[in-house]
Structure 1
Amino acid sequence: MSDMTLFTVLSTLGALLAIAIGVMFPAIAMGRAISQALDALARQPEAEKAITRTLFIGLAMIESLAIYVLVIVLLVLFRNPLLQYLLPK
């Protein structure tokens, strides 16, 4: 196996691992946030607007983490900055 093939395979496996971990933790955080919001709504139904607004802002922040991971993984896959060191000059 050539150096380029090995590098491509390792980059792809690293990207798959990064996207798996980078999406798993925000998903867990979103589940916990929704669970806590439902618990708060059950305790104080009169505070529904404030809880819902805060929940959606928090969910947007959590989701942005997963989007940042996706962008970085796509950069590594399609425009790998380390690839220039393997290409012949």
Structure 2
Amino acid sequence: MNVSARAGLNGQAPRCNHIDVVPAAKSGIAECRRCLQLRVIWPRLVVCLTCGWVACSDGSAGGHAWEHYQETDHPVVAALEPVTAWRWCYVHGRAV
């Protein structure tokens, strides 16, 4: 039995197979276009791993990354900062 194939974050959850199907998209400009239009400051940016769209995180006032997921069904975003490997799957509602 291959436990590592089923394992996820710290072995606590099933592996998210959405990570395996997202292309290697290049990120766009490091800004949330919708926040700029609304003149709102974002605390954190994330990048859609499917298309490279950059938007403010769900913890921001705008929550534009969530809106992008609702519009496109692109499942996984990652922190835009290069020093972190944080990724979030909207389908599973958890870090992956």
Q: Which TM bucket (shorter chain)?
A: under 0.3
Query: Which one has the largest radius of gyration?
Result: 1
Structure with bigger RCO (C-alpha 8 Å, 6+ apart):
1
Normalising by structure 1, what TM-score?
0.24
Between Structure 1 and Structure 2, which shows a larger proportion of helix residues?
Answer: 1
Between Structure 1 and Structure 2, which shows a larger proportion of strand residues?
Answer: 2
Normalising by structure 2, what TM-score?
0.23
